[in-house]
Amino acid sequence: MNSVFTAEGCAILIAIERFIQEADKSYILCSDSLSVLKSLESLHRKSPTISLQIGSAVIRAIPRSTAIKLVWVPAHVGITINEQADEAAKAARISDVNIYPCISTEDIRKVIFRVQADQGRIQWESTKYFRSFTHLPKTTKTPLLPRRKEILLTRLRTRSLPTKAILFKVGLESSPLCRQCGIVDSNDHLLLSCTVFEQLRNNLRASLGIGALHYNWICTISTFNRRACSAVLHFLQSTNLF
């Protein structure tokens, strides 16, 4: 459960508590964990748990030694003793031996949040309302389009555009049928066959450079493809339905 930060801090803590014993010696502890060493430079009550424990261990160990130094040694690959320490660390990951009974409160909190999130996801995926849209592209953290256009594309991809069929289900339309075509006014009908928007559809095909439109193919158009996205959005906005 411990993070890499806590695990590397535990190594320093074990070294201080178990090996600094002789009062007439000076000790140098080498570590490649710069983050742990930096956290020890300015300890306060909100410092990570392992950093506070190391600080307390140093205070207790000072009377037992002449001097204690913590040194950052970056990229010490090839040093025999360090290679042995790395092998021991790898073996400890699959060992049943309780090397040190320390789990930081920060890491426990992260584990609890992760478990709760996984449980919520599993419960949601097991309900009848869950539907996986595997054909949709992965989302990005950086928005590539304005918010309103992103919403419009998402409605298109999830077949939730406010057509008469959708509005009829929620009681906002008296009939699900298209007034012009006389068939159910679904998202597929709007995009692929409604005669009212035939000219707009021809323009869309010309902009995309294809002979026939396919709903699922349009849904896979990435927002990184700005030209294609603009053509699809222009079609939707030109219908004056949204």
pLDDT in tens, 155-195: 898 888 999 999 999 899 999 999 889 999 999 999 999 99
The tens digit of pLDDT for each residue in 77-131 reads: 667 777 787 787 777 777 777 666 667 788 888 889 889 989 988 998 898 888 8
Q: Start-end ranges of CATH 3.30.420.10 in the chain? A: 4-107
Where are the extended beta strands (E) located within the chain?
26-31, 67-72
* Helices 49-61 + 4-19 axis angle, to 10: 10
**Region 4-107: CATH code:** 3.30.420.10
The tens digit of pLDDT for each residue in 21-33 reads: 777 888 988 888 8
Grade residue 135 by pLDDT with cuts at 50, 70 and 90: low
5 in Cβ contact with 32 (< 8 Å) = no
CA 9 from centre of chain? 26
155 in Cβ contact with 239 (< 8 Å) = no
Q: Residue-wise over 93-113: b if at least 16 C-beta within 10 A, else e?
A: eeeeeeeeebebeebeeeeee
What size, in residues, is the chain? 242
Residue 152 structure tokens: 């419009």
Distance CA 12, CA 54 (A): 7
The overall pTM is greater than 0.75? no
